[in-house]
Amino acid sequence: MRRSLHGKPDPIDYKMKKKQLTELISLESTGFLDLYFADESGFSLTPSVPYGWQKVSETESIATQRSQQLNVFGLLTRGNKFESYTKLGSNTSANIISYIEDFKKTITKKTVIVLDNAPIHKSHEFLLKIEEWVSSGLYIFFLPTYSPHLNLIETLWRKIKYEWLKPADYYGMDKLAHATENILRGIGSEFVINFECEDCSIICV
């Protein structure tokens, strides 16, 4: 089962931005720029289970526990280059700005970060930083509204929650945090996504 969105993107804006995103992917393929898909995701002791099996006349249940949430801000390329920042509790716009400021130190060429329109990405403080980042060769590309399927890092969150984390990892918050951190460190080596084989809604050239 998948969660659905409350609205739909404006068709004109969607068509224009999808075309622009496809062009950015083409420029990345030529080596002209680096393109990172970025987003936040939370991990708690309530497992993500998209489907399951049970014996006839029996009911399988999933135990849930109150817990803090481990929030991850990640930046991922189609080639599985990955950077992440973790925090217990909610992220604020100031947190995201500080993460991007730190990430900026690692760039070696013109770099574009793809983001959705979450309020923490559109705050007054965040928008003020964009012009400053441009002067350092770092650009922000905002996706059309209600279009999470255009952000390839959503595939990563799905892989972690539905495939790579195991039931035993939910026995406690410390164990979950440790397992999640191990996966994050292994992205690009032990954990790899072939985006050409994934069901993407953009052209992976």
Rounded-to-integer distance, Cα 42 and Cα 10, Å: 28
Asked if pLDDT for residue 4 goes beyond 50, the answer is yes
**Best CA proximity match to 201, nearest among 154, 149, 155:** 149
Strand order through the sheet with 111-115: 82-88, 70-76, 34-43, 111-115, 138-142
φ/ψ (deg, to 5) at 96: -65, -40
Confidence of residue 2 (pLDDT cuts 50, 70, 90): low
Asked whether the beta carbons of 102 and 131 are under 8 A apart, the reply is no
The larger pLDDT score, comparing residue 5 to residue 10, is at 10
Q: For residue range 11-64, what is the model confidence (pLDDT) as tens digits?
A: 999 999 999 999 999 999 999 999 999 999 999 998 776 666 678 887 766 666
Q: For residue 71, give every residue at least 6 positions away whose Cβ sits within 8 Å of its Cβ, in sequence order, or none.
A: 40, 41, 42, 43, 86, 87, 88, 89, 90, 91
Question: 3-class DSSP state for residue 115?
Answer: strand
CATH of 22-44+65-186, one of 3.90.180.10, 3.30.420.10, 3.40.50.11860, 3.30.70.660: 3.30.420.10
How far is Cα 123 from Cα 136, in angstroms, rounded to an integer? Answer: 21
- CA 87/CA 91 separation, integer angstroms: 7
Backbone angles phi, psi at 196, to 5 degrees: -70, -20
Residue spans of the domains in the chain: they are 22-44+65-186
DSSP annotation of 124 reads: H
Q: Report how far residue 13's alpha carbon sits from residue 55's, in angstroms, rounded to the nearest whole number.
A: 48
Which amino acid is present at 146? Y
Largest CA distance in the chain: 64
What would the two tokens of residue 134 be?
A: 């441009």
φ, ψ dihedrals at 18, nearest 5°: -65, -40
- Of the listed ranges 27-31, 73-77, 108-112, 193-197, the one predicted with least confidence: 193-197
